[in-house]
Structure 1
Amino acid sequence: MSAGRRLFRVVAIGVLPAVLAFAAVSALRSGDGGDRAGPGRTTATGGVPPGRADGSGQPAGSAGSGGAVELAATLSGTAYSTELTFEVPQARARVGPPEWVRDCGQFAAWARDNGGVPVGAEPVHTLTLRARRSVDVQVNAVRAVQVARVNRAGEQGPWVELACRDATASPTASPPGRRRGGELPHPLAAGQTLEIPVELDGLDESGSPAAPFPGGVSDYRLRVELEVDGTPRTFDLRDGDRDFRCCGRITYMGYQAARYEWTLSPARALRYCAELRYAGKPPPRTCGPREPA
């Protein structure tokens, strides 16, 4: 064999493995597609780094693998009621929700999508934690971080209350959550989901006393401080793909706004309670069926 042919074989044997390895890595990267966002993905910002509660960098609620805990939050009531009531213009309250709205949970989402502002100065949020492996999770604090004040002066009233009422009371309905941070750790098995109703803690970031929630109507995020297997993590959670919004107030001493209550099943019905204006002790409220607009 000539020297030229021997040199060609040596070069081919040395270079070919590197070429094949490069092609394999390129194929894997193109197939993975990176971090693709999908519909309904709950985002978590902040923390070190942002994302899952174990610092994997994956957004909370995503379908990616490798995270210890997925974390999401919903506005679920107030410190006094598990029912969400919304402040809306009267014309909107008389128009029924679309056909796809079949229960009070879907009703609440529809009301928020259409500009309804939850009523009540002490909102309760439900944290949903899902473990991807066996892990201990401890929630230390949950605070509202104001993003922006909401100026509603240009919106058309009059303002009324809008609510959803189940046709039958649920025997499993739980009372409003009064849990706050600093509880004992929750041991979770792989695949287990835990829902924790939490009220907002009334301390600012420095630990000084502060109001649990900004005054007036605000857009805000939830700052959740927790520990995953003893490692501190901090996350700012949103309401799906938007910020949370709270809190309306249209009932004062001597005045209760008109109230519209929708029952969705087994048949749709609208119940109307007239506004009350009074001095001293409030009189009984007058409520009755009403035809939708």
Structure 2
Amino acid sequence: MSGGQERSESGRGMSAIRIAGAPISWGVCEVPGWGHQLDPDRVLTEMRGAGLTATELGPEGFLPSSTDELKSVLHEKDLTCVGGFVPAVLFKDDHDPADDLAGPLESLVAAGAGVVVLAATTGSDGYDSRPVLDEAQWATLLANLDRLAAIVAGRGLLAVLHPHIGTLVETRSEVDRVLTGSSIPLCLDTGHLLIGGTDPLELAKAVPNRIAHTHLKDVDAALAAKVQSGELTYTEAVKAGMYTPLGTGDVDIAGIVSVLRDNGFDGWFVLEQDTILDGEPTGEGPVRDVLASVAYLRSVTA
């Protein structure tokens, strides 16, 4: 993949890392009612001011859908696009998930992105509940993953599957079904995996050849446990601060990054700290935590 990069040269001779931001760290999310949504100008200006030169696109509607306008916004902010998160309904035999993909894929192609980050959504708003699939639905989901990956590859991009709380691929057993039942690579989201019961470091060690994209999140494990037990919904836990700046939570970020780099990972490390805002922040706002995460990642990859 090409595009703007934050580089950190390793004394061990490993290749430079590629760091990107994401609008979710500023509370920008596709879920209806997900708190106050900041203006793109503030988000992208602060992202660039944090030293990041690349970003994921954010949800549909956050940035312009017009090809020329989208390119203009990214150029004005001196940012390149690395990819974007695309929720798709994959398990229903009466629904074509290519329809979910079509619009976002055009935007990603126009933006010069390299990665389409698919999530196996339930078809309902939010991530607080999900159905249990039968075997036929699983077969449909897995077949659709490979089909969408082929569509994406035909446009010159790479599709990855993002295990995500409140989707159909949340737990370790569900991740394993994807690994054995399809050929799609994974987006290693260190936060969603941990909350869903998977040790992201162990997964990185087990299947490094299947990891093509990374969302680095740190997590307060005590709040994650309340999500797992049902004491809190996912949304309630995010509001309570379940996601923390890198290096301040319970995910072994340094260990995960080291394992991936030792195994030749050359994809993007996208910094994410999902947050929910109750209004327009005064002062620094979310960028303070983004700056802390950037500094931490640089410190462990120097």
Give TM class, smaller chain. under 0.3
TM-score (norm 2): 0.25
Greater radius of gyration (CA): 1
Larger helix percent = 2
